[in-house]
Amino acid sequence: MQNTQLPRIAWAWLLAAAALMGTQAFAQTAPPTQVIDLAGEWAARVHEDAIYRGAGGFLGDYEGLPINAAARQMAESWDADVLSQPERNTQAHPAVYAMRGEGPNIRISEIRDPATEQLIGLRIVGMFGRADRTVWLDGRPHPSAYAEHTWDGFSTGTFHDGELTVTTTHMKMGVLQKVGVYASPYSVMTEHYYRHGLYLTMVTVVDDPIYLEEPFVRSQTWVLDTNQNVGPALPWEAVDELADKQVGWVPHYPLGTKHTELAEKYDIPFETTRGGAETTYPEYQLKIRRMRAEMQAKKEAAARDAAARPDPKAKSDAKAKK
């Protein structure tokens, strides 16, 4: 009996060891999943690009924006007064800008299946125009490319390595930066949320085949605020702010307009304000210095030439004295 039982025991141990080794191997190769708690009231910390997240910068200020020629042409013709049109009075911020403009202070709450209590989504409220967002976490697919586009778009997310990654599609065309730089309806936004104690950081990557030469990357930060209370959404009412204008009037600048105010104010070459993928890299600062030195040298040379040339007025005064 012992001789017949020993092989069975040995096989049992071998199978158990193989199962344990397989489990360990799987644990080493499978990416760890860690759901992070994002629920709560979060107060914005506007530490990056404060001017652009409020009233906006100078028209023609496209530095650090990887825009192409089509985006630049549209931005040069854009006039901020367009938001005074009645049909634009109640226009919300699109998802590509909503998490950045005017703060915003937000509240994140969980959406759980009523039967299983499984976490299936997150609700983010507090956006400008209350284009509040829902991030689905239950693996549902994105709609067809022909489905409706909205201000908040359609967002799905996954947790991994203590991070929430959100992919958003089906967004309406809307601003990336409030200087007339827009993202097209074909853009895709990827957000990476990280929580560090009381702080929440989100890094956004926008890919747009229509208006961007390269992905556009920027970040936002919030801090947990238990005293904050994002209030209920209030309805907006469109009003006629420009009664003296005819129906259908659209504020704009003519095509070919060059907004040079920024370059003139800071005494930098106009070319450096034009944006493009090149301007997003740190080494572009060296090019700005070189171009600025060349510009200054030309100014000094022009001043010397002007000083060397006789003054026509002085000649006429001398003739008059004679």
pLDDT one-digit tens code per residue, 198-241? 999 999 999 999 999 999 999 999 999 999 999 888 888 887 77
Question: Is residue 132 pLDDT above 60, yes or no?
Answer: yes
Contacts of residue 117, defined as CB under 8 A and 6 or more positions apart, other chains included, come to: none
pLDDT tens digits, residue range 299-309?
888 888 888 88
As a whole number, mean pLDDT of residues 178-196 equals 96
Q: Which two tokens stand for residue 86?
A: 């009645």
Minimum mean pLDDT range among 96-100, 183-187, 227-231, 246-250: 246-250
As a whole number, mean pLDDT of residues 60-68 equals 95
Q: How many helices (H) and strands (E) does the chain have?
A: 7, 11
Strand 154-160 and strand 133-136: the pairing is parallel
Mean pLDDT over each residue of the chain, to the nearest integer: 86
pLDDT band at 9 (very low <50, low <70, confident <90, very high): very low
pTM: 0.81
pLDDT given at position 95 = 95
pLDDT band at 321 (very low <50, low <70, confident <90, very high): low
Amino acid at 259: H
E strand or H helix at 271: none
Share of the chain above pLDDT 70, in %: 85
pLDDT band at 320 (very low <50, low <70, confident <90, very high): low
